[in-house]
Amino acid sequence: MRLSSSAKVTLRVFAGLVMAAIYLPLLLVILNSFNATTSGAFPITEFTTRWWEAAFHNEGVREALWTSLRVATVATVIALLLGSMIAFALSRYDFFGKNTVNLLVVLPIALPGIVTGVALNNTFKTVLEPLGIGLGLFSVIVGHATFCIVMVFNNVQARLGRMNKGLEEAAMDMGANVVKTFFHVTFPGFRSAFVAGGLLAFALSFDEIVVTTFTAPPGTETLPIWIFNNMARPNQAPVVNVIAAVLIIVSMIPVYLSQRMTGDDKK
Amino acid sequence: MAAPTIEPEAESGTAPAPGSTRGGLGDKLSRLLYARPKLRLTALLTLPLAWLGVLYIGSLILLFITAFWTTDTFTSKVIPAFTLENFIEILTVQAYQLTALRTIGIALAVTVLCAVLALPLGFYMAKVASPRMRAVLAIGITLPLWAGYLVKVFSWRITFMSGGPLDWLLAPLGMTGPGYGTTALVITLAYLWFPYMAVPVYSAFRQIPDNLFDASSDLGAKAWSTVRTVAIPLLKPAFIAGSIFTFSLSLGDYIAAQFVGGKTQVIGTVIASNINLNPPLAAAFGTVPIVVVVLYLFLARKSGALKQL
């Protein structure tokens, strides 16, 4: 389209402003983690690394991080298994109720998190607690796995749709059994989508707060719950700020890896 | 066929089932599975359906049933007795009505703000920017998706703090930031969900052939009328697809409201504050976002935008 050069400049400036609005607040968090005052007043007049040290030695943070890692790992494993199974069922078979199953997988992220959280909270309290399975680490994992399944499912299903089924048939014609075919032909074909889906599921679980608030018993803190509980406490705010700064830097790594991995396949 | 002795089964090249000349357990299983697609499908679906169909859907149904129960006002214990009281309460008490309407209003404002920002950005990325710039911006808008939800809420909490960066920035202009409140909440939510709108709008822009724009300007249309009469109608499905995310995510959010919303009450705050004291009321109120989202999806479906998802 023929645009006047002033229109082009305006658009460029606009895009720059949007990017600034996206990244300045994040930069601010990193910058503010060195702010010596606890009030968060701006501009920063005195810098310190005190909060970084405090955060590093904070027991609560360490425990919360450990909880988060355990929850995310188990939830991801469950999601990898269930998500791939559904992806296979939906992309390889035609059956009655296929669309319903598809909807079922997407539902946990399509519905507001609070609904999933309240529903699971209710089930654990009224049905499962009398059976001896009350709210605990297990209920948090159940909640997380439920909405992580779709991450793996989306990735694996998209890949399976593009894979050449003839390769599998060829392997079987050559005498490989179903198991052998799966591990030597099928799995290598969708492995990178599987890993990418797993990374996304892990990142999603690691970051989740709403479902966690409702499925975690008092005293069980994942890292987001710890941040949530401490954000409004003035004397903890600087430590929260440091954790936030670390998360900004660290959380982008899995995404970068996953983008690279899916990017490589396209070549 | 001169088959090597190591692999005798290779001779039965036309074997009806894989591994059919071997007798190991794996092969027996293999033959069984190969011959019965239904068995394979059942094996694949049993576990996932038990999880999603029984545990998850079961929980949603139970939640819905709980909404018709009541609580003992002294012990906060749920009493399973059918009543419409909770629904009557949320439909008639003005505070609940206002909260529901306010939340829907906020979700709509967030959606409009995202769409208004996504249009020129998508246009610039798809039609004006160099390929290199386009790639940078494409990563630029998606990367913060993973920066952590609370981290982003926190970043705006810092930004909007009184005496904080925004106040400092606006001070030379003689203005102050909005402070914590509904405006701050709308901006924060728009920030959180912007990629969900920007990405589909940008990809839809890319799919519009350049010569449509050329034709439009050849016929004398100015840039803005080209955008309005050519681009926007073609982008409608993308806007709707994006709006499903921005709308429903904003509708269910209550954490951002707690940290940047000041005293602003949203549906989520009411549910969260009732979940322990009065679970049936929380459950009843929980049906509000579901009904609104389903209605929204229904309207979106009627417009045909869902097929593009």
Q: Are residues B217 and B270 in the same domain?
A: yes
Q: Are residues B212 and B243 in the same domain?
A: yes
Q: Are residues B199 and B66 in the same domain?
A: no
Q: How far is CA B248 from the centre of its chain?
A: 6
Domain edge (last residue) among B79, B104, B124: B79
CA distance A79 to A71: 12
Q: Is residue B2 one of the residues assigned to a domain?
A: no
Q: Are residues B171 and B230 in the same domain?
A: yes
pLDDT at residue B9 in the model? 42
The shortest C-alpha distance from B139 to chain A (Å) reads 10
Beta-carbon contacts of B86 under 8 Å, excluding residues fewer than 6 positions away, are: B67, B68, B70, B280, B281, B283, B284
Q: Are residues B36 and B168 in the same domain?
A: no
Measured between CA atoms, the residue of chain B closest to residue A111 is B290
pLDDT at residue B139 in the model? 84
pLDDT at residue A85 in the model? 94
pLDDT at residue B14 in the model? 44
Q: Where are the alpha helices (DSSP H) in chain B?
A: 25-35, 37-49, 57-66, 85-92, 94-123, 131-142, 149-160, 165-170, 182-207, 210-218, 223-226, 232-252, 255-260, 267-274, 279-302
B99 near A CB under 8 A = no
pLDDT at residue A265 in the model? 45
pLDDT at residue A164 in the model? 81
Q: What CATH number belongs to A81-266? A: 1.10.3720.10
Asked if B63's CB is within 8 angstroms of A115's CB, the reply is: yes
Q: Are residues B60 and B91 in the same domain?
A: no
Q: Which amino acid, one-letter code, is at A255?
A: V
Q: Are residues B270 and B127 in the same domain?
A: yes
Q: How many domains are there within chain B?
A: 2
Taking CB atoms and an 8 Å cut-off, how many pairs form between chains A and B? 279
The shortest C-alpha distance from A232 to chain B (Å) reads 8
Is B261 within 8 Å of A104 (Cβ atoms)? no
Is A134 within 8 Å of A220 (Cβ atoms)? no
CATH number, domain with residue B139: 1.10.3720.10
Chain B neighbors of A209, CB-CB under 8 A:
149-150, 255
Q: Are residues B296 and B224 in the same domain?
A: yes
Q: Are residues B133 and B268 in the same domain?
A: yes
B49 near A CB under 8 A = yes
CA distance A114 to B10: 57
Q: Are residues B45 and B163 in the same domain?
A: no
* Closest CA relative to residue A243, chosen from A222, A214, A217: A222
B11 near A CB under 8 A = no
Q: For residue B204, give its domain range.
A: 87-308
Is A19 within 8 Å of A7 (Cβ atoms)? no
In chain A, where the domains are located = 81-266
pLDDT at residue A169 in the model? 84
pLDDT at residue B304 in the model? 63
Asked if B152's CB is within 8 angstroms of A86's CB, the reply is: no
When scoring A23, A29, A106 by the number of chain B Cβ atoms within 10 A, the one with the most, hence best to mutate, is A29
Q: Are residues B46 and B129 in the same domain?
A: no
Give the residues of chain B that fall short of pLDDT 70: 1-23, 76, 304-309
Give the residues of chain A that fall short of pLDDT 50: 264-267
Say which residue the tokens 């009281």 belong to.
B85
Asked if A108's CB is within 8 angstroms of B272's CB, the reply is: no
For chain B, positions 173-212, list CB contacts with chain A under 8 A: 191, 194, 210
Q: Is residue B11 one of the residues assigned to a domain?
A: no
pLDDT at residue B19 in the model? 46
Tens of pLDDT, residue by residue over B3-22, are: 444 444 444 444 445 444 55
Q: Are residues B42 and B58 in the same domain?
A: yes
Domain edge (last residue) among B54, B79, B104: B79
Q: Which amino acid, one-letter code, is at B118?
A: A
A207 near B CB under 8 A = yes
Q: Is residue B54 one of the residues assigned to a domain?
A: yes
Q: Is residue B8 one of the residues assigned to a domain?
A: no
Q: Which helix (H) or strand (E) holds B29?
A: helix B25-35
CA distance B16 to A172: 10
Tens of pLDDT, residue by residue over B262-302, are: 899 999 999 988 888 888 888 899 889 888 988 888 887 77
When scoring A42, A95, A185 by the number of chain B Cβ atoms within 10 A, the one with the most, hence best to mutate, is A42
Backbone angles phi, psi at B55, to 5 degrees: -70, -50
